[in-house]
Structure 1
């Protein structure tokens, strides 16, 4: 039986490795990072001269937003006249038709507007008077985005910077062709505002139009500026998309040059971001230092400063993933057979039936479900194993047990990574679901198992009746309140979005850890979970310390959770886990010394 289990485990590792090697290859082969500058802000801070300078040193593109005719009129770049109100004097008052609106301005502006609206039949353009006439009934056109600054277009041509249009969502997907016609050599588009063009009913048409124009989609990281429909649009485009990182202007000034450089670099190195959206500091010298330092740091890390390309499409590993799931089911049933043969057979038959049904009807739901089950069950089984082998251990046994449990958690995390891996997770369009469940449920199951073991020799019904009959003490209330507070804090600081903020002290600690290590280890692992597990292993069968073993699951749960951040490079996730574990191994002798010292005065 042991040989069969070992063979299955080897097969699992082989299948897992095939998928993970491809993930690492896709991440490692894409080294092109694009630096794009926000034209409006560089123009506002009068620092356009820097764009010319840095276009020869790695700056690749220029992000340009659209303006409406009303915005242009407020800037005195054009005039708008009608019977309802006048601005400018391009038409004599007796020429004004009450049913028309007259727009006058430079040919460079009006020419671009006419190209954009060339399919509208009710417009009239008078080249001699440089005047565009639209019906009063079409006054809504005055507020629609329509114009890209001609100075930006000229700067782009002069410096060979690619243009990235910031297309506003209140435009239509049909207008994308007009934009592409008026702007040459486009490679990428980043929508501005809170949603993408075509949301929510016309995303398929928008995707088709972008594919026709051979445009990549810039996906702003969701924690920065979530855009409704962006993930769905990227999926419709077969993931021809780039992850984009930016920093808000006020935050940029607060961070300073070096912190801003580190944050952009971290986005590239640790989250697979490939397009960096740069904004200027108010001080031109700081802006120059910022861009120079960022370029140098990226180059030193062997990133190529060039127009970014989407990640290579991952292979379809559906058959391998099905095989991986079947091997996991078989291994689980073989272990169940040692306790109950009937249960093992029932599990095998029901498992095969569910796999077949999900495979035919809801394949993606199957891998999500299996991944969540692994994330919940593995830490729970680790706790059961530790309780069943509880004893005082030597220093060598503590090392080996801690490493063995950690290795199991790493393997579980890597299996989940292999099951979920595809471009949708790589771009963070999809994320591992049930994070809070995976953090809480193993602890609850572990506590239930421990209490169940304690009650085996007792009448559970009688115990419950006695417990309910007893008056509630202040100690019990304090313990319950403390448990609730810790539980809320634990779950509040778990997952992709925290509902409990990070304190300034923690921010400072994170900063120093990030500077000292290549990647920062996770607090819940090296400060909470791993120390609790080690203390529980040291003190052996004492009941108080058996609860520490349960707390030690937090570190193992964190290991699995770290590895299932699929938008992060696999090497970075593994390094983060290794650093957290290494920190514990380095201080184990200190724990041991304290415990040996205390044994002389402490009685069990």
Structure 2
């Protein structure tokens, strides 16, 4: 058996292992099939106030529309002040008021101010002053503030029925910090039949007993899922393991807020999720500002996109208020948002109800090594195309297998997995591109003219299938809970987009112009540089440059140039029609260009073959990019790829038919 056959057999073997892993991943994703709409209680309170209806009426209507959960935030100084239970000011303002009126209506606070010197007042001028006459509120605040503020920064005052606190904290920040839950709210939401989802908030200096108290409250009200509020998780940084162990012991799930790639998760989320056995549910919601910015239809589309493309299973709902519309219209549209999204979800084959965590998914290191063999073998096949000797290929193969296996079996496994995934996203599209260029070269040399459509479609599907094989392997080696929940993610998107295109240019010159050594290659480059430029050359260069800038700026997880409104509408149409929306760059540009490129060669207009092949390479490499978004459901990724192939082939054949008509009518030949 020659080396090339060994390499092909290795790729097939690795692909079989990948398919087995992918099947297991799909089973886990199929169990993660229920979407839950969770309303933000504060937002719903504001909405009830705006409409003039009582909160219970609003909650009942939203529940009937399909909202199963309600998220309850911890009490804050700000919320207590809005409820009229406390007064919050700065000490300097309280002092000025006392000097003017001589009466604050709070004897405890007045006695405190009488004991301050002018120097003390100046020193404490920006301290927070909280005053109340409610004994229950005082008791709640005394317990909460004692835990969260050091003794040197907190003064507690009481006299009769007058109570006050002096707090050395920045007002604008501290008034929004969580101070614990109002159990009356928790009981009320639970009594209405909602899935209660507390927004637990961490604080500096939290102790084991504080975490135990939180968990006791969660158990008391039968809480299934918690979404942490603020910038970090409960117990961060020293007490994460203790908090997570209690969550795991009591079967409490964690809502993992979906953030754009490259943006930070809540501090400590990666550790917390790992300690809980990845009992995680992905959460997506628009901010208050975004909710008011978008119209009702676009909000629903964004929810649906998160569900389909990013595997979100909790939609965090904030009520949208349009001041220009009537109260009844606002109620009707907010209810319609839930109902419309529910219809879309059911059409996509998902359920609406109480969200369940993603089953834990991990791969053994040995399985990862077997999957990685495929990319090593594919890399050697590419080198073989350039005439590298069998002896050198064998040496490089041994080094590659030992090196990759060593990293994957070591404590640097995470780095190894990401490196292998990146290699798959570059090597397999390049191998597909090489196959296409080889067939293109055969057409240039006069082969394939008989039964063109059959030959062209065969080349089309094989080129794409080679990249698809690499994509399935990416989906397998990154089939792990931390990637599927987007706690961690694929790295190197820009490289996976650019390097295969560079490979195409290099290999096209190498193969088509037979520049099989550096001297011949450089000679061909010089020949190109010595061309007499015409106006159309400059125009073509400018167009290509602009296209290249647009292409690069719109790749990756945070594109510099956002899609236009028309594009978004078109995407929405495809998402609601096909569910698994094929990527525009594939079915409208890349895939059709593969067929059109072959046709231009058939008609002897060889100059355009290079350009069409370059565009076609985008369709080939885009496949692995789709699968590198591991948070997306694998079946959806497969379906959207296959849809792109079918649509791309149809558009390409239509393009060929139109070109043939144009050529026939103008009597011109490429």
Q: TM-score, normalised by structure 1?
A: 0.86
Shift of 1:151: 5.9
Partner residue, 1:104: 132
Q: Which stretch has the larger CA shift, 491-500 or 403-412?
A: 403-412
Question: Which residue among 629, 634, 637 is the counterpart of 1:573?
Answer: 637
Report SS of the residue matched to 1:63: strand
Partner residue, 2:13: 11
Partner residue, 2:455: 397
Answer yes or no: is the 8 Å Cα contact 1:79–1:88 preserved in 2.
no
**CA distance 1:447–1:73, shift in 2 (3 Å):** same
Deviations 1:262-284 (A, max 9, x none): 43234223421111111223312
Partner residue, 2:332: 285
Distance in 2 (CA, whole Å) between partners of 1:460 and 1:337 is 18
Shift of 1:462: 5.8
Q: Which stretch has the larger CA shift, 352-361 or 119-128?
A: 119-128
Distance in 1 (CA, whole Å) between partners of 2:661 and 2:529 is 42
**CA distance 1:213–1:90, shift in 2 (3 Å):** farther
Distance in 1 (CA, whole Å) between partners of 2:240 and 2:259 is 20
Report SS of the residue matched to 2:239: helix
Q: Which stretch has the larger CA shift, 229-238 or 135-144?
A: 135-144
**CA distance 1:232–1:131, shift in 2 (3 Å):** farther
Distance in 1 (CA, whole Å) between partners of 2:9 and 2:306 is 40
Distance in 1 (CA, whole Å) between partners of 2:591 and 2:178 is 55
Partner residue, 1:260: 299
Alignment of 1:91 onto 2:107: yes
**CA distance 1:126–1:34, shift in 2 (3 Å):** farther
Distance in 1 (CA, whole Å) between partners of 2:167 and 2:22 is 61
Shift of 1:90: 3.8
Question: Which residue among 241, 265, 269 is the counterpart of 2:280?
Answer: 241
Q: Which stretch has the larger CA shift, 538-547 or 73-82?
A: 73-82
Answer yes or no: is the 8 Å Cα contact 1:207–1:236 preserved in 2.
no
Alignment of 1:422 onto 2:483: no
Q: TM-score, normalised by structure 2?
A: 0.79
Alpha carbon RMSD of aligned pairs, Å?
A: 3.7
Partner residue, 1:546: 609
Question: Which residue among 485, 507, 516 is the counterpart of 2:568?
Answer: 507
**CA distance 1:590–1:459, shift in 2 (3 Å):** closer
Distance in 2 (CA, whole Å) between partners of 1:455 and 1:279 is 62
Distance in 2 (CA, whole Å) between partners of 1:279 and 1:172 is 32
Partner residue, 1:316: 363
**CA distance 1:241–1:461, shift in 2 (3 Å):** closer
Report SS of the residue matched to 2:581: coil
Partner residue, 2:185: 152
Distance in 1 (CA, whole Å) between partners of 2:543 and 2:43 is 50
Distance in 2 (CA, whole Å) between partners of 1:588 and 1:69 is 63
Distance in 2 (CA, whole Å) between partners of 1:160 and 1:138 is 39
Distance in 2 (CA, whole Å) between partners of 1:388 and 1:558 is 20
Give the count of matched residue pairs.
601
Distance in 2 (CA, whole Å) between partners of 1:465 and 1:330 is 34
Shift of 1:38: 0.8
Question: Which residue among 227, 232, 253 is the counterpart of 1:196?
Answer: 232
Partner residue, 2:28: 26
Distance in 2 (CA, whole Å) between partners of 1:22 and 1:501 is 35
Shift of 1:196: 1.8
Q: Mind listing any 5+ residue stretches in structure 2 that lack a counterpart?
A: 117-123, 322-329
Q: How does 1:47-196 map to 2 (within 5 A)?
A: 48=55, 49-55=57-63, 58-69=66-77, 72-73=80-81, 75-79=83-87, 84=95, 89-91=105-107, 95-96=111-112, 98=115, 103-117=131-145, 129=160, 132=163, 134=165, 143=175, 144-146=177-179, 148=181, 152-168=185-201, 173-174=206-207, 176-181=211-216, 184-185=220-221, 186-193=223-230, 195-196=231-232
Distance in 2 (CA, whole Å) between partners of 1:388 and 1:142 is 66
Q: Mind listing any 5+ residue stretches in structure 1 that lack a counterpart?
A: none
Partner residue, 1:212: 246
Deviations 1:309-355 (A, max 9, x none): 32111133321121222354356557866842122122122213312
Alignment of 1:348 onto 2:397: yes
**CA distance 1:312–1:103, shift in 2 (3 Å):** same
Question: Which residue among 484, 496, 505 is the counterpart of 2:545?
Answer: 484
Shift of 1:511: 2.6
